[in-house]
Amino acid sequence: MTEPVLPTLTDLNRPFWEGGLAGELRFQRCDACGHLRYPISTICPRCLSGDATWVPVSGRGRVLTYAVFDRAYHPSREGRTPYVVAIVQTEEGPRMISDLVECTPGQVAVDTPLVATFEPVADGGFAIPRFRLADGEANR
Amino acid sequence: MGWSKASIAGVGASRQGKLPGETAMSLATEAFRDALADAGIDKSEVDGLLTMPGTTSPEGPKHYLALGEHLGIDPRWTGSLNAGGATAGMLIQQAALAIDAGMASVVACVFGDAAKTGGSRFSAAAGGEDSGSWGVWGMFGNAANSALGARRHMALYGTTSEQLGWVAVNGRRNAALNPAAVMREPITIADHQASRMIVDPLHLLDCCLITDGGVCIIVTSPERARDARKPAVSIWGMGQGHTLQNLETPDWWYLPHQADCVSRAYRMAGVGPKDIDVAQLYDNFSIAVLFWLEHAGFVPRGESGPFVDGGTRIALDGELPVNTAGGNLSESYMQGWLHVVEGVRQVRGEAGPRQVADAELCLVTGRGMTLNTASCLVLGPDR
């Protein structure tokens, strides 16, 4: 297995990646209009305000749709196939791209309930949020 | 009829396929020569140059500078644009508007790419290579976005992989009648099902080719086009739509901007889906054709799977012939530029064995990037 793809931490995105150490999925909430947003941005795409506060969300969501990678198209995924990548519709509104862990492709369907899980990186400086099936879903 | 304030006077293409030794520039040049010959227009008349850099064009956004120098053109209207498979339509629209405004009289829209032999990578992380990259979550390659769209379409509407296969079979069937097409060997649904999975639910035969080639479209005034060598093809209507916000858009997977794009062009042309005789629908992946059939109003939402099933309705003699030259799946992957060429040929009535009888109006669509850009043209006779 080769090295995973890691994000580059910046002052802007650090709260997102460090949230995982506290077991929290965090999004930015616009201080001006209240819009909860993802992807991470310096401004609100609705009102253009640059003021935002990082807030924890439930980490719960559903599979909006998904695709199964039977082959590795990048060294980081060699030996880790098959795997599932989904658009996750979070309970609070924003959508994320994430792989689904601790499951087989056959356990995944559109609308399957999910919950965030956090994978600490080697040096422990942050943790990558990923999604797994919500409790009870794996036994369906 | 329709807007019709600009026309296409010439279309040209280089050889297509695997062309070792050729470059994006040499292939664009070959297409440019071919288009001028098709139009019967001399290079000295070309006063507009709009270009799309190929994936192997080293110039990037300065592509027009290099191509203008290379082709010996000092234009009064120029630029380069890259919106993936929507670019051809968008540049033709820029050309048409410039002509209508009197800012250019003959505009060459040019593309060339040595994607097959030039080492292009189509497996990069979707979402870019920067810190916001989706590569962290294993989202790699151009097929992934379309696979996500296909999966939800299947879940909501019962669309099947075999139905996607009919899009591939139809494209190959038409390519067999196109001497310029790269892939002409017939395929069956069984072949489609047996082809390897690229990103589930998309098989290899759901995916476009990767090819070397170039394409050029000559846009001019209706008056000038009437004096050209071939019958003028009029731009009745044109449209764009873009969902640049991707994940911020709740139903991004369904690409709602594509419906806006086509309805804008219909309105401009004064026509509707029932008036369209033949359609060149951008097919980077088979599922794209199903989305377009719905977005262009040929079928209600969710009913494109049954429409393509069996391949008869989209065949050359069907109620809506689709991708009559073979499309990206079988003709060549010129990112939609050849879809425009084929639209022009169908309206001219010069498509030979694959000519759709009495074809007058052709819809040509394009889409690109993270499937968030879209453009379209309604092409028709000049009268």
CATH number at residue B212: 3.40.47.10
Q: In this predicted structure, what is the pLDDT of residue B123? A: 64
For residue A71, the one-letter residue type is R
Contacts for A5-12 with beta carbons within 8 Å, 24 or more apart?
A: A5/A74, A5/A76, A5/B125, A5/B133, A5/B135, A5/B136, A6/A121, A6/A128, A6/B136, A7/A128, A7/B131, A7/B132, A7/B133, A7/B136, A8/B130, A8/B131, A9/A125, A9/A126, A9/B131, A10/B131, A12/A40, A12/A42
In the residue annotation, B266 being an active-site residue is answered as: no
Domain residues for the domain of B344 are 7-120+208-381
For A75, the closest chain B residue by CA position comes to B138
- Angle at which helices B286-295 and B143-157 pack, to 10 degrees? 60
**Is position B178 within any domain?**
no
- The terminus-to-terminus CA distance of chain B in angstroms comes to 7
pLDDT above 60 (res B305): yes
pLDDT above 70 (res B128): no
List residues of B whose CB lies inside 8 A of any A CB. Answer: 123, 125-127, 130-141, 144, 147-149, 151-152, 155-156, 197-201, 245-248, 250, 252-253
For B153, the closest chain A residue by CA position comes to A65
**Is position B160 within any domain?**
no
In the residue annotation, B333 being an active-site residue is answered as: yes
**Is position B260 within any domain?**
yes
pLDDT above 80 (res B124): no
Q: Pick the range with the lowest mean pLDDT from A112-116, B41-45, B125-129, B277-281.
A: B125-129
| pLDDT, averaged across chain B | 95
Shortest alpha-carbon distance between residue A114 and chain B (Å): 15
Give me A12's structure tokens.
């802007």
Q: How many domains does chain B have?
A: 1
**Is position B28 within any domain?**
yes
CATH, range A14-135: 2.40.50.840
**Is position B267 within any domain?**
yes
Among candidates B131, B147, B152 on the partner chain, residue whose Cβ is nearest the Cβ of A13:
B131
| pLDDT, averaged across chain A | 94
Pinpoint the alpha helices (H) of chain B.
Answer: 24-39, 63-71, 87-100, 143-157, 161-175, 189-194, 222-226, 256-269, 286-295, 304-308, 327-330, 337-348
Cβ–Cβ under 8 Å, residues B216 and B35? yes
Q: For residue range A54-70, what is the model confidence (pLDDT) as tens digits?
A: 999 999 999 999 999 99
Contact B144 A45 (CB under 8 A): no
Q: How confident is residue B120, by pLDDT bands cut at 50, 70 and 90?
A: confident
Shortest alpha-carbon distance between residue A78 and chain B (Å): 11
Q: In this predicted structure, what is the pLDDT of residue A3? A: 77
The rounded distance, in Å, linking the Cα atoms of B328 and B326 is 7
Q: For residue range B326-371, what is the model confidence (pLDDT) as tens digits?
A: 999 999 999 999 999 999 999 999 999 999 999 999 999 999 988 9
Tell me the pTM: 0.96
Give me B255's structure tokens.
């690409």
Contact B144 A67 (CB under 8 A): yes
pLDDT above 50 (res B131): no
Contact A5 B247 (CB under 8 A): no
**Is position B16 within any domain?**
yes
**Is position B56 within any domain?**
yes
Contact B156 A110 (CB under 8 A): yes
**Is position B100 within any domain?**
yes
Tell me the β-bridge partners of B242: B373
